[in-house]
Amino acid sequence: MKLGISSCLIGNLCRYDGAHSKDAFVYNILQKYFEIVPYCPEDMIFGSPRETIRLVREGEDIKVTTSDGSKDVTKELDDISVVCAQKIAKDDICGFILKSKSPTCGMERVKVYQAKNAPSVKEGVGFFAKRIKEHYPYLPVEEEGRLNDAWLKENFLMQIFAYKDLHELLKKDIKLNDLVEFHTSYKYLIYAKSQEFYKELGNIVANHDKKPLSEILDEYKLSFLQAISQKSTINKTYNVLLHIFGYFKKHISKEEKELLLITMDEYKDGIVPLITIVKMFKIYISKHDIEYLKKQKFLNPYPAELALRSDLKANK
């Protein structure tokens, strides 16, 4: 798996001042699971160190100038941003982490300066970030700063691994049964994100209109990527837990059912993290050999070592 990263976040000396912005989570954790592909459009055309640049509003347009206003570098930065965005497909990237607040890489709330000495307004989007979203509207993309939010981090990593799984499936010469098997494994993960997309994807796979496989795959890909870009919530996840709980009714005792339901309610009330329920589920799945649930990605969406579901704040 390849993960695109703003180059400064992994310690490369490519910032305007010749320094870096190494991020501990990106550098120490994510490099264990992904092949990191660094990008820095600014460094490619301006070198490092270099003059600082900023977004400037001129009427309806937003341009990029050096901070002293002496040079307009809008075209150079936009051209290289397009080149780098096109490179993402060639590099087979399954997700991207951008440097926040950057006039090149910031996803949101980048300072935009006014032409006539007015205060800056945090309303801009970096030129490279904008081009990424234009070229790949459903590629998992986040800023390193937003990944300090446990909920955003958990949803982002879940999305990356699902994105990778789908693209690896579609690289193969598959039959409809392969798609059905893939969809079945993602049933509850999709349900935890959107009941609407869950129904839509189910209808695509059912293929009531007898469409050719190529058309089905195109429809499924678009709908699946839209589905996994949605954010999970406690209520949606709780509904999935109730569905999974139904598989245990014939296998576990009354006391075990009561304990499981109480713990699920504690999750809903923010008392215990989701991993508590998942671990209990896995015990019963293994003990009673419930094959259908063993394959559910909802229970194993990413490496357990990431411990993303151990944080109470990973739920909203």
Number of domains in the chain: 2
Shared domain for 176 and 274, answered yes or no, is yes
- Reported as a pLDDT band with limits 50, 70 and 90, residue 114 is confident
Please compute the mean of the pLDDT values over residues 287-311 and round it to a whole number: 95
Shared domain for 123 and 181, answered yes or no, is no
Supply the pLDDT for residue 216. 97
Supply the pLDDT for residue 90. 94
Q: Which segments of 74-207 does DSSP mark as H helices, in order? A: 74-90, 127-135, 150-170, 176-185, 187-191, 195-206
Please compute the mean of the pLDDT values over residues 245-251 and round it to a whole number: 93
207: left (phi over 0), alpha (psi -120 to 50) or beta: left
Looking at 129, 148, 167, the residue that finishes a domain is 148
Shared domain for 130 and 162, answered yes or no, is no
Shared domain for 97 and 162, answered yes or no, is no
Mean per-residue pLDDT of the chain: 95
Could you tell me which residues are beta bridge partners of residue 57?
Answer: 62, 114
* Torsion on CA atoms 86, 29, 142, 100, rounded to nearest 10: -100
Nearest to 54 by CA among 36, 33, 38, 73: 73
Shared domain for 179 and 269, answered yes or no, is yes
The pTM score is: 0.92
Cis preceding-peptide flag for 49 (omega within 30 of 0): yes
In terms of residues, how long is the chain? 316
Q: Computed from CA positions of residues 222, 224, 225, 226, in that sequence, does the dihedral angle turn out positive or negative?
A: positive
Within-domain flag for 111: yes
Supply the pLDDT for residue 118. 75
Shared domain for 163 and 300, answered yes or no, is yes
Shared domain for 220 and 264, answered yes or no, is yes
In whole angstroms, what is the distance from residue 307 CA to residue 314 CA? Answer: 10
Looking at 109, 130, 148, the residue that finishes a domain is 148
Instruction: Identify whether the C-beta of residue 138 lies closer than 8 Å to the C-beta of residue 146.
Output: no
- For the cut 90, the answer to whether the pLDDT of residue 115 exceeds it is no
Shared domain for 141 and 163, answered yes or no, is no
Q: Which percentage of the chain shows pLDDT scores above 90?
A: 94
Per 3-state DSSP, the chain is made up of helix, strand and coil in percentages (nearest 5) of 55, 15, 35
Within-domain flag for 201: yes
Shared domain for 12 and 137, answered yes or no, is yes
Shared domain for 287 and 144, answered yes or no, is no
Output 249 or 188, whichever has higher pLDDT: 188
Shared domain for 141 and 229, answered yes or no, is no
Q: Which domain holds residue 200?
A: 158-316
Supply the pLDDT for residue 60. 86
- For the cut 90, the answer to whether the pLDDT of residue 14 exceeds it is yes
Shared domain for 188 and 296, answered yes or no, is yes
Within-domain flag for 153: no
Looking at 95, 123, 148, the residue that finishes a domain is 148
- For the cut 80, the answer to whether the pLDDT of residue 280 exceeds it is yes
